[in-house]
């Protein structure tokens, strides 16, 4: 019987093991045959020999089961081993998208103003003289118009030189009080170089109510600046002239330059109290308001040290792809 156990324990495949089961335990197997032969013995012997054979049968069965478990686990091991992959080979390359860096800056600004309860509006880029200039208190034949080198179309329209025409559109369709920002493309017919573009982006804010003051204006700019650049940011106003505000100012923010780490003034944009002639143009009475606006490109150029403003509109993926991580 020891021979049978040895044979089972050395079975190398499940098939061999099954053959051994048949050989010993099958209908015509060695042990089955021995049990059949018991009938020829006396009852006493039959009991004694029967017990022995059954004990042997049990040992053979156990040996077969044990061997089966072992062989199965070996087979699984071998199968898994055969399925091993080279995890160091590159993965499939899925096309990776991203948002334009200027879109990301605009999104951030929109978030800032949304959190302050502002509405967001967009509007046409090809404007009429009325919306771009006249309704904004730019008199005809006034040198104030020279401050905004203008692209005129042959049919007398104008590529908006600022996002401010939307002040007029928005006021024509909304009743005060309100707070709104307008992000968008703007155009100036200036000589193009590394720091000047003919097409760029601005963000405009307009707040109108019964009694809005210059302090509300400064509060809004400072809140924006602090949200964007941290709690140590502050704002400075200095008088200047834009036809559509009076009093008018330009604003600078005291910030830590993201690359040099130096704290300094960043001159950002223009602002002021909405000129009464602008309110007159849209039929508003007994309200005051403030407006401010600034260029968006610089907020991308300076922090990332982008050397040339023309990169933004050239569609070169070697440039644009570098800003994907911000998505």
Partner 1 sequence: MNVPYSWLKEFLPELPDVNRVTELLAGLGLGVESVSEVAAPPKDVVIVEVKSSEAIEKSDHLLNVCVSDGKADYQVVCGAPNVTVGMRTALAKVGVYLPGAGFTVAKREIQGVVSNGVLCSPKELALYDYGGGIIEFGDDVALGTELSSLWPSDTIIELEITPNRGDALSMLGVARDLAAKLGTTYRLPDIKRGDATTDDGLTVRVEDSEGCPRFTLQRIDNITVKPSPVWLQRRLASVGLRPRNNVVDVTNYVTYELGHPSHAFDLDRLNDATIVVRNAKAGETVVTLTEQKVDLDEQDLVITTPVEKGSKDTKVIGVAGVIGGLDDSISSTTKHVALEAAHWNMATIRKTAKRHGLSTDAHYRFERGVDPNLSPLAVARGAQLIAELGGGKVHAGYTDVGGDQPLKEVMFRPSRVEFLMGFDVDKKTQQNYLEALGCTVKTLADDEWRVTIPSWRFDLAIEEDLVEEVGRLHGYEHVGETIPNMQFVPDLNDVTHRQLRYLLANMGFQEILSYVFTSDAELAKSNAPVASARLVSPQGVERSVLRTALYPSLIQAAALNHTMPSLALFEIGRVFNDAETERLALLVRGPLIRGGWRPDQKTDFYVVKGLLEKLAHSLGAEVRFEPREVSYLHPGVSASVIWNGKDIGMVGQLHPEIGARYELETTFVAELLLPLPKSQVKFTDIVRQPHAERDIAVIVPKDVTYASLEALVGKAAGERLESVRPFDVYQGPPIPEDKKSLALRLWFRHPERALREDELEGFMGNIISAVTQTGYSIRDK
CB-side exposure of 227: number of CA atoms within 13 Å? 15
Nearest to partner 1 of 61, 216 (CB atom): 216
- In the complex, what is the shortest distance from the CB of residue 71 to partner 1, in angstroms, rounded to a whole number? 35
Nearest to partner 1 of 61, 246 (CB atom): 246
Check residue 314 for interaction with partner 1 (CB under 8 A).
yes
Q: What is the separation of C-alpha 193 from the centre of its chain, rounded to a whole number of angstroms?
A: 31
The pair of three-digit structure tokens given for residue 61, joined into one six-digit string? 């069965």
- In the complex, what is the shortest distance from the CB of residue 265 to partner 1, in angstroms, rounded to a whole number? 11
Check residue 238 for interaction with partner 1 (CB under 8 A).
yes
Which residues from 176-215 bind partner 1, rule CB under 8 A? Answer: 177-180, 183, 185, 187, 189, 192, 198-199, 207, 209, 211-215
Check residue 103 for interaction with partner 1 (CB under 8 A).
yes
Answer whether 183's CB lies under 8 Å from 109's CB.
yes
- In the complex, what is the shortest distance from the CB of residue 315 to partner 1, in angstroms, rounded to a whole number? 3
Check residue 85 for interaction with partner 1 (CB under 8 A).
no
- In the complex, what is the shortest distance from the CB of residue 67 to partner 1, in angstroms, rounded to a whole number? 41
What angle separates helix 14-25 from helix 2-9, to the nearest 10 degrees? 160
Which residues from 152-181 bind partner 1, rule CB under 8 A? Answer: 152-155, 157, 159, 177-180
* Residue of 162, 101, 148, 159 whose CA lies nearest to 314: 101
Selected from 135, 218, 244, 294, the binder of partner 1 by CB under 8 A is: 218
Check residue 143 for interaction with partner 1 (CB under 8 A).
yes
Binding residues with partner 1: total (CB under 8 A): 92
Check residue 95 for interaction with partner 1 (CB under 8 A).
yes
Residue 254 pairs in a beta bridge with 234, 265
- In the complex, what is the shortest distance from the CB of residue 52 to partner 1, in angstroms, rounded to a whole number? 59
Check residue 106 for interaction with partner 1 (CB under 8 A).
yes
Q: Residue 302: is the preceding peptide bond cis (ω within 30°)?
A: no
Nearest to partner 1 of 207, 301 (CB atom): 207
Which residues from 120-139 bind partner 1, rule CB under 8 A? Answer: 120-122, 124-126
Check residue 94 for interaction with partner 1 (CB under 8 A).
yes
Q: Residue 247: is the preceding peptide bond cis (ω within 30°)?
A: yes
Instruction: Enter the DSSP assignment of 193.
Output: B
Please return the burial class of 187, using the count of CB atoms within 10 Å of its CB with bins 0-12, 13-18 and 19+: buried
Which residue in this structure is represented by tokens 């908006």?
160
Check residue 216 for interaction with partner 1 (CB under 8 A).
yes
- In the complex, what is the shortest distance from the CB of residue 84 to partner 1, in angstroms, rounded to a whole number? 17
What is the secondary structure of 25-63 as a DSSP string?
A: HSTT-HHHHHHHGGGGS-HHHHHHHHHHHHHHHHHHHHH
Which residues from 10-49 bind partner 1, rule CB under 8 A? Answer: none
- In the complex, what is the shortest distance from the CB of residue 79 to partner 1, in angstroms, rounded to a whole number? 23
Sole window of 33-41, 63-71, 151-159, 253-261 interacting with partner 1 (rule: CB under 8 A): 151-159
**Could you give the angle at the alpha carbon of 31 between the alpha carbons of 18 and 69, nearest 5°?**
35
Check residue 82 for interaction with partner 1 (CB under 8 A).
no
The pair of three-digit structure tokens given for residue 252, joined into one six-digit string? 């600078």
Instruction: Enter the DSSP assignment of 196.
Output: B
């Amino acid at each position: 019987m020891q021979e049978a156990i040895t044979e089972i324990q050395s079975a190398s495949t499940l098939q061999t093991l099954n053959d051994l089961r048949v050989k010993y335990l099958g209908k015509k197997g060695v042990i089955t045959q021995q049990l059949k032969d018991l009938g020829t013995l006396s009852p006493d012997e039959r009991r004694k020999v029967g017990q022995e054979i059954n004990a042997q049968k049990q040992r053979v069965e156990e040996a077969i089961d044990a061997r089966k478990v072992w062989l199965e686990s070996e087979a699984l091991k071998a199968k898994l081993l055969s399925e091993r992959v080279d995890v160091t080979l590159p993965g499939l390359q899925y096309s990776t998208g991203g948002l334009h860096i200027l879109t990301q800056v605009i999104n951030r600004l929109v978030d800032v103003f949304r959190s302050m309860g502002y509405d967001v509006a967009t509007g046409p880029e090809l404007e009429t003289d009325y919306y771009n200039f006249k309704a904004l208190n730019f008199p005809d034949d006034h040198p104030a118009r020279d401050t905004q080198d203008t692209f005129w179309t042959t049919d007398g329209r104008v590529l908006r030189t600022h996002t401010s025409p939307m002040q007029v559109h928005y006021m024509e369709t909304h009743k005060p009080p309100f707070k709104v920002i307008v992000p968008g493309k703007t155009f100036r017919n200036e000589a193009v170089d590394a720091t000047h573009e003919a097409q760029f982006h601005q963000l405009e804010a307009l707040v109108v109510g019964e009694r809005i003051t210059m302090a509300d204006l400064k509060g809004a700019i400072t809140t924006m600046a602090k949200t964007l650049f941290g709690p140590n940011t502050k704002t400075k106003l200095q008088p200047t002239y834009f036809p559509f505000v009076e009093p008018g100012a330009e604003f600078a923010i005291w910030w830590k330059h993201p690359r040099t780490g130096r704290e300094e003034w960043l001159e950002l944009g223009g602002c002021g109290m909405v000129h009464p002639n602008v309110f007159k143009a849209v039929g508003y009475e007994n309200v005051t308001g403030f407006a401010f606006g600034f260029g968006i490109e610089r907020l991308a150029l300076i922090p990332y040290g982008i050397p040339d403003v023309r990169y933004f509109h050239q569609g070169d993926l070697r440039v644009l792809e570098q800003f994907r991580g911000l998505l």
